[in-house]
Amino acid sequence: MARRSARPTPDPVAPGNRVCVAEIGGAHGIAGEVRLRAFTTDPLAIMGYGTLHAEDGRGFTIAAVRPAKNCLVARLAGVTDRTAAERLRNLKLYVPRDRLPPIDEPETYYHADLVGLAAVGPDGASIGTVSAVQNFGAGDLLEIRPAAGGPTLLLPFTEAVVPLIDVPGGRVVVNPPDEPSSERGEGERAS
């Protein structure tokens, strides 16, 4: 059985408890619209978070948004031409953690709640730290930075591989595969 995770994930350089909920991909058209990649379970829910803030503290209000192929197209208040929209390329947008709705579903977690947890084996031995939650289309993967150093591990976020999530205790118990692949793209190891 696959575990589910809500999409927002923290950016390690973001101060305090801000959570990255979207990233601007680039300009769309000539009137200042931008392509927006939302990290929320429901992409259109991005409108409900109010002002979104960049890492440098600038605030952005979404005036309008519509679905497009593989992204949203958004009009940001105050961005009126393509040149201004192009300057926002790759800008990450954040909201305070307390603006996110509580999770009422069992076995569902915000990425922000998982990143930073200690990853330990069934015997309690340290494996590393959860550094990110990735999804390349086939399900969520926990990215673990090994305690001993070296390339990060990508482990399927399933009950079989991650049988225990103890957010209050600051840890996840993982059963890593016996022989992780060194081939990138097989879902077990990334650099």
Q: Specify the number of domains making up the chain.
A: 2
The rounded distance, in Å, linking the Cα atoms of 22 and 40 is: 8
Does residue 106 sit within a domain? Answer: no
Residue ending a domain, choose from 46, 68, 99: 99
Residues 89 and 132 in one domain: no
Residues 85 and 120 in one domain: no
SS3 string of 143-190? Answer: EEEECCCCCEEEEECECCCCCEEECCCCEEECCCCCCCCCCCCCCCEE
Residues 129 and 65 in one domain: no
pTM of the entire predicted model: 0.64
Residues 17 and 93 in one domain: yes
Q: Of 72, 64, 56, 63, which Cα lies nearest the Cα of 22?
A: 72
Please name every residue paired with 67 in a beta bridge, in sequence order, or none if there are none.
72
Which pLDDT score is estimated for 126? 94
Task: Kindly tell me the number of DSSP H helices and DSSP E strands found in the chain.
Answer: 2, 16
Which pLDDT score is estimated for 4? 55
Residues 84 and 163 in one domain: no
The rounded distance, in Å, linking the Cα atoms of 44 and 138 is: 22
**At residue 185, what is the residue type?**
G
Does residue 126 sit within a domain? Answer: yes
Q: Which domain holds residue 22?
A: 4-99
Ordered per-residue pLDDT tens for the chain, 191 residues = 455 555 554 443 345 578 888 999 999 999 999 999 998 888 999 999 999 999 888 999 999 999 998 899 999 999 999 999 999 999 999 998 888 888 778 777 888 788 899 999 999 999 999 998 887 777 889 999 999 889 999 999 999 999 999 988 999 999 987 754 444 343 332 32
Residues 137 and 68 in one domain: no
